[in-house]
């Protein structure tokens, strides 16, 4: 079978060799890199521009970005017909190709994020490794492993002086500033990969990298916000559970006033921090969302107005065949509804959760409509191709480039984030860390 | 005498010259004489070199061919022998629904609507008058409604500015000195960028090797003086191949002196596959 034949159905005049060869994994690839870039930008808003109210989410977003990074590689490897040769991109990069620099940009960005995280957590590693060492030799294996990991992560630097902290701070600011253009480049360039294909009437537009960057920031902020709310709610719930357990264990009479106050203060503090962070972050989400939609609509209007050769088939593909995916899912549910939800005064957590989920869905649909939509009409401008997502993975091809493969790619960063958060505590506040 | 020399040196008698000065001045004179001479030599030398290079290039041009393809669509009857020959020659599975070359049937009805198909890339020719409209459906056209109908063979255009070569991230696809675009099956990573970048739909993934696959004008044959499989199989000489660098080549002469067309010139790819009898609605 020809690659792409499994999920492509042809209608009317389509060239014999034409298939949808960039399938769901190539939808996931810009979606995941978008999340990486977006969450990094969010963390940099605090580290570089000093937007204090984002302090609570800055570390969270940075570690999330680090967890999302490997997930941007997986869809590419799953998509390649020869994944074992993927390294060739680094060995013989052919620089006239937009994909050639991927390895270099990706590694560079990875290094920046890794360094920034190291500087951010250096003091934490040292303190933790010292603390675990002080526990003596007879401690659980888990602690021994943690001590080893933390000691290795200090990279032999044990200076916790105020001077060193100042230097760390400087390095973080520098790396965060350097990271912004690189993160935007990493993603804008994913847009360039599509925007520069002159053979594809839908992709070919210089606006593509810009649209990709802005929607990347939108999706990154939305995901960080959503995860932040979920994780904070879990913390609140845990704190309440600890309180009730303490009450149950000692009885209400045994519970000292101090203890009660501590628990409720902890829970209350989380609550107040959370809503303030959420409100501020959703402001930024709104700004980027409006920009993204404006750019996309500008592109659409421009195509309709200039109405070049390809417009006839594009018009049909956009307004008739993909109407539901584009106007109902992407613009309606994915942009308009969350816009209204976020704009209504007195923002609540529940409303934010719904809005962020819808925004993420909208951005995913945008990637889908670009990647699959761009391949849904023939280069003859006289035929269509329909994409059927393989759901049941009864062979390797359907597993790699089907629903299951896409879900693996989506879930992977969350698992990685959970593991990372054991080493890099995401709710450590800078002011606390300096004490 | 030798004892006095150190004293004599600073005084420097008029008319005499120290060894150091002598060498210095000689050096300057030599440089002064040589520089213009060198410049002249450089200019003439370069000129000489450039003319030598041009001559060399001219001889290479004569020895290294630049292949061009000529399709006379007026002569094609849609028998599909070319497709069959190509598949057999080039190890593309016969049953695979993709091909390095294919033949299109264009039927334009009197209402101006154009119906096009190429069932199985026309591997078996066109065995029914019904038009294949995809998804297993066919369209019957009343012969009386037909305004015009014709066949168009297609293959890789071996563009002089190939977008497929431009976008390959690892350089696995490249344009050889004879103008033919080739794929290195041992280096291709299978990203599919070249397939999406080709405006002619000439590329696909080989179902066995899982690497990008395309027409090579039968490079393995033409480099040995044989004809491409499709050209040899065509009973009506609708397909012909020529060498632009050979002044005696008849096909190259037709391309140079007659009115020929290329496909999708607007993409700036500079195709090297030329057509006679192409209709404006062929894309």
Quick one: closest CA in B to A309, which residue? B266
- Res. A30: pLDDT tops 80: yes
Q: What's the pLDDT at A47?
A: 87
Tokens of A412: 């992977």
Two tokens, residue A2: 């020809």
Task: Average the pLDDT over B143-170 and give the result.
Answer: 96
Which pLDDT belongs to residue B6? 44
Q: How far is A401 from chain B (nearest CA, A)?
A: 13
Is residue B89 predicted with pLDDT exceeding 50?
A: yes
Q: What is the pLDDT of residues A207-217, one digit of tens each?
A: 999 999 999 99
Whether B210 has its CB under 8 Å from any CB of chain A: the answer is yes
The ipTM assigned to this model is 0.88
Helix axes A349-374, A162-195, angle to 10 degrees: 40
- Can you give the pLDDT at residue B45? 47
Residue B161 forms contact with A (CB below 8 Å): no
Domain-ending residue, one of B63, B86, B120: B63
The pLDDT assigned to B12 comes to 46
In a domain, A413, yes or no: yes
**Percent of chain A, pLDDT > 70?**
93
* Burial degree of B190 (CB within 10 A; 0-12, 13-18, 19+): buried
* Residue B1 pLDDT level (bands cut at 50, 70, 90): very low
The answer to whether position A1 is within a domain reads no
Residue B127 belongs to a domain: no
B129 in contact with chain A, both atoms CB, cutoff 8 A: no
Residues 6 or more apart in contact with residue A305 via CB below 8 angstroms:
none
**Is the pLDDT at B174 greater than 70, yes or no?**
yes
What is the radius of gyration, based on Cα positions, of chain A? 24
When CB atoms are compared, the residue of B118, B188, B199 closest to A379 is B199
Asked whether residue B280 carries a pLDDT value surpassing 70, the answer given is yes
Confidence band for A231, pLDDT divided at 50, 70 and 90: confident
Q: Do residues B240 and B220 both lie within one domain?
A: yes
Cα separation, A286 vs A296, whole angstroms: 15
pLDDT for A183: 87
Q: Give the pLDDT of residue A146.
A: 87
- HSE-up of residue A228 (Cα within 13 Å, Cβ side): 36
B92 and B47 housed in the same domain: no
Contact A12 B134 (CB under 8 A): yes
- Return the percentage of chain A with pLDDT > 90, whole number: 62
Whether pLDDT at A419 is above 60: yes
The tens digit of pLDDT for each residue in B56-70 reads 655 555 689 999 999
Contact A211, A298 (CB under 8 A): no
Partner-chain contact B171 A92, CB within 8 Å:
yes
What pLDDT does residue B221 have?
97
Of A18, A98, A380, the CB nearest to B283: A380
**Does B203 sit within 8 Å of A379, measured CB to CB?**
no
Mean pLDDT along residues A62-74:
91
B42 & B89 share domain: no
Residues of A within 8 A of B211 (CB-CB) are 81-82
Distance from C-alpha of B233 to C-alpha of B85, rounded to nearest angstrom? 6
Burial readout B147-161 (b: 16 or more C-beta within 10 A, e: otherwise)? eebbbbbbbbbbbee
The owner of tokens 């393995």 is B220
Which region among A224-238, A249-263, A269-283, B208-222 has the lowest average model confidence (pLDDT)?
Answer: A249-263
Q: Which residue matches tokens 């096909």?
A: B251
For chain B, report the end-to-end CA distance as a whole number of angstroms.
98
In this predicted structure, what is the pLDDT of residue B47? 46
**Cα–Cα nearest to A51, from A232, A221, A267:** A221
> Given pLDDT bands bounded at 50, 70 and 90, which one contains residue B54?
low
| Ranges A96-100, A141-145, B43-47, B117-121: which has the least confidence | B43-47
Q: Pick from B85, B90, B72, B130: which is nearest to B229 by CA? A: B85
Its sign, for the CA torsion A362, A366, A371, A376, is positive
pLDDT range class, residue B15, cuts 50, 70, 90: low
- Ranking B25-34, B39-48, B128-137 by mean pLDDT, the lowest is B39-48
Question: What local confidence, expressed as pLDDT, does residue B32 receive?
Answer: 63
Helix (H, G, I), strand (E, B) or coil at B277: coil
**Are B147 and B108 within 8 A, CB to CB?**
yes
**pLDDT value, residue B281:** 83
Asked if B211 and B269 sit in the same domain, the reply is: yes
Within-domain flag for A196: yes
pLDDT at B208: 96
Q: Greater confidence, B204 or A60?
A: B204
Asked whether residue B246 falls in the same domain as residue B265, the answer is: yes
CA neighbor of A409 nearest in space, from A23, A3, A17, A5: A23
- For the residues A327-349, what does the mean pLDDT come to? 94
Residue A258 pLDDT level (bands cut at 50, 70, 90): low
Q: Which residue of A has its CA nearest to B202?
A: A17
Position A170 in a domain: yes
Examine residue B126 and state whether it is found in any structural domain, yes or no. no
What is the domain count for chain B? 2
Per-residue tokens: A373: 């939509």
Per-chain mean pLDDT for chain A: 89
**Measured between CB atoms, does B141 come within 8 Å of chain A?**
no
Q: Which domain holds residue B238?
A: 67-97+153-159+200-276
Residue A110 CB-half CA count within 13 A:
13
Q: Does residue B169 have a pLDDT over 90?
A: yes
Q: What's the mean pLDDT in A8-24?
A: 96
| Strand positions, DSSP E, A20-135 | none
Listing DSSP states for A93-118 in one string gives --TTSTTTTHHHHHHHHHHHHHHHHH
Q: Do B201 and A21 touch (CB under 8 A)?
A: no
Closest-CA residue of chain B to A15: B201
**Is the Cα torsion angle B44, B45, B50, B53 positive or negative in sign?**
positive
d(CA A133, CA B257): 87
For residue A433, pLDDT beyond 60:
no
**Whole-angstrom distance, CA of residue A169 vs CA of residue A173:** 6
Flag whether pLDDT at A283 surpasses 60. Answer: yes
Q: How many domains does chain A have?
A: 1
Q: pLDDT band at residue B195, thresholds of 50, 70 and 90?
A: very high
C-alpha angle B66-B183-B102 in degrees, rounded to nearest 5 = 75
pLDDT digits (tens, 9 = 90+) for A260-274: 666 666 666 677 668
Nearest residue, CB atoms, B168 vs list A85, A94, A199:
A94
| A-chain residue closest to B102, CA distance | A16
What would the mean pLDDT of A6-11 be, rounded to a whole number? 95
Query: Are β-strands B67-72 and B273-276 bridged in parallel, bridged antiparallel, or unpaired?
Result: parallel
Q: How far apart are CA A313 and CA A202, in angstroms?
A: 10
| pLDDT for the residue A92 | 94
CB contact under 8 A, A96 and B97: no
Mean predicted lDDT score pLDDT of chain B: 87
Q: Which residues of A touch B163 (CB under 8 A)?
A: 197-199
Max distance between CA atoms of chain A, in angstroms, equals 82
pLDDT in tens, B26-35: 777 766 655 6
pLDDT digits (tens, 9 = 90+) for A307-324: 998 999 999 999 999 999
List the CATH number of the domain containing A262: 1.20.1630.10
How much is the average pLDDT of B196-225?
96
Tell me if B133 and A12 make a contact (CB, 8 A cut-off): yes
pLDDT at A251 over 80: no
pLDDT per residue as tens digits for the range A157-177: 888 889 999 999 999 999 999
Strand partners, B71: B239, B275
Q: Is residue B112 part of a domain?
A: no
* DSSP secondary structure letters along B74-113: GG-----HHHHHHHHHTT--TTSS--SSEEEEEEEETTS-
The residue among A199, A204, A377 with the most chain B CBs within 10 A of its CB, best to mutate, is A199
What per-residue confidence (pLDDT) applies to A248? 78
Residue in chain A nearest B94 by alpha carbon? A1
Same-domain pairing of B58 and B74: no
Residue numbers in A near B117 (CB within 8 A) = 13
Confirm whether B233 is domain-assigned. Answer: yes
Q: What is the CATH number for B270?
A: 3.30.70.20
pLDDT of residue B18: 72
C-beta separation of A60 from A284 below 8 A: no
Sign, CA dihedral A167-A172-A177-A178, equals positive
CA dist A120 to A63, A356, B110, Å? 10, 28, 74
Q: At what angle do helices A162-195 and A208-254 cross, to 10 degrees?
A: 140
Domain that holds residue A148: 8-277+286-433
């Amino acid at each position: 079978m020809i690659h792409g034949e499994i999920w492509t159905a042809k209608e009317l005049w389509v060239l014999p060799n034409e298939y949808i060869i960039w399938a769901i994994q190539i939808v996931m690839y810009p979606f995941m890199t978008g999340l990486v870039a977006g969450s990094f930008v969010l963390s940099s808003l605090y580290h570089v521009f000093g937007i204090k109210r984002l302090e609570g989410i800055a570390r969270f977003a940075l570690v999330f970005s680090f967890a999302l990074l490997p997930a941007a590689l997986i869809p590419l490897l799953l998509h390649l017909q020869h994944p074992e040769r993927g390294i060739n991109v680094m060995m013989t990069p052919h620089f006239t190709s937009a994909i050639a620099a991927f390895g270099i940009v990706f590694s560079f960005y990875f290094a920046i994020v890794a360094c920034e995280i190291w500087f951010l957590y250096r003091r934490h590693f040292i303190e933790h490794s010292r603390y675990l060492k002080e526990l003596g030799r007879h401690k659980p294996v888990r602690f021994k492993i943690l001590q080893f990991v933390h000691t290795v992560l200090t990279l032999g630097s044990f200076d916790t002086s105020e001077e060193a902290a100042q230097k760390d701070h400087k390095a973080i600011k520098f790396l965060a500033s350097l990271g912004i253009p690189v993160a935007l480049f990493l993603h804008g360039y994913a847009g360039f990969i599509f925007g520069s294909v002159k053979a594809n009437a839908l992709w070919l537009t210089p606006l593509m990298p810009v649209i990709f960057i802005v929607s990347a920031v939108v999706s990154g902020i939305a995901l960080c916000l959503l995860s932040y709310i979920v994780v904070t709610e879990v913390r609140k719930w845990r704190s309440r559970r600890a309180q009730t357990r303490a009450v149950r264990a000692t009885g209400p009479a045994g519970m000292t006033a101090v203890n009660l106050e501590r628990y409720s203060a902890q829970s209350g503090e989380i609550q107040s921090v959370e809503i303030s962070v959420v409100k501020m972050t959703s402001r930024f989400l709104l700004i980027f969302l409006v920009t993204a939609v404006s750019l996309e609509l500008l592109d659409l209007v421009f195509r309709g107005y200039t109405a070049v050769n390809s417009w006839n088939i594009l018009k049909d593909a956009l307004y008739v065949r993909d109407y539901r995916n584009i106007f109902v899912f992407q613009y309606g549910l994915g942009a308009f509804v969350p816009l209204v939800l976020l704009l209504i005064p007195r923002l609540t957590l529940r409303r934010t959760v719904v809005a962020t989920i819808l925004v993420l869905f909208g951005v995913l649909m945008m990637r889908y409509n670009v990647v699959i939509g761009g391949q849904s009409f023939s280069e003859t401008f006289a035929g269509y191709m329909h994409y059927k997502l393989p759901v049941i993975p009864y062979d390797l091809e359907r597993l790699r480039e089907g629903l299951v493969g896409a879900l693996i790619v989506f879930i992977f960063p969350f698992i990685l984030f959970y593991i990372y958060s054991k080493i890099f505590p995401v709710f450590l506040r800078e002011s606390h860390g300096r004490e | 005498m030798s004892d006095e020399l150190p004293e004599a040196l600073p005084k420097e008698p008029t008319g005499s010259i120290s060894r150091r000065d002598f060498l210095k001045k000689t050096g300057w004179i030599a440089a002064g004489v040589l520089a213009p001479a060198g410049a002249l030599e450089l200019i003439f030398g370069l000129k000489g070199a450039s003319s030598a290079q041009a001559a060399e290039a001219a001889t290479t041009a004569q020895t290294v061919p630049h292949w061009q393809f000529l399709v006379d669509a007026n002569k094609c009857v849609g028998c599909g022998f070319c497709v069959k020959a190509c598949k057999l020659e080039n190890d593309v599975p016969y049953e695979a629904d993709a091909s390095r070359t294919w033949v299109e049937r264009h039927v334009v009805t009197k209402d101006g609507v154009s119906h096009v198909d190429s069932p199985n890339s026309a591997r078996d020719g066109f065995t029914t008058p019904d038009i294949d409209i995809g998804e297993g459906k066919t369209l019957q056209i009343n012969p009386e409604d037909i305004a015009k109908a014709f066949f168009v063979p297609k293959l890789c255009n071996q563009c002089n500015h190939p977008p497929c070569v431009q976008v390959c991230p690892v350089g696995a696809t490249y344009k050889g000195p004879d103008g033919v675009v080739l794929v290195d099956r041992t280096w291709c990573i299978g990203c599919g960028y070249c397939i999406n970048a080709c405006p002619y739909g000439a590329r696909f993934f080989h179902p066995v090797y899982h690497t990008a696959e395309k027409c090579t004008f039968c490079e393995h044959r033409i480099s040995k003086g044989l004809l491409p499989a499709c050209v040899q199989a065509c009973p009506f000489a609708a397909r012909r191949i020529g060498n632009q660098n050979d002044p005696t080549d008849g096909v190259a002469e037709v391309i140079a002196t007659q009115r020929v067309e290329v496909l999708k010139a607007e993409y700036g790819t500079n195709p090297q596959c030329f057509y006679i009898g192409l209709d404006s609605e062929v894309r």
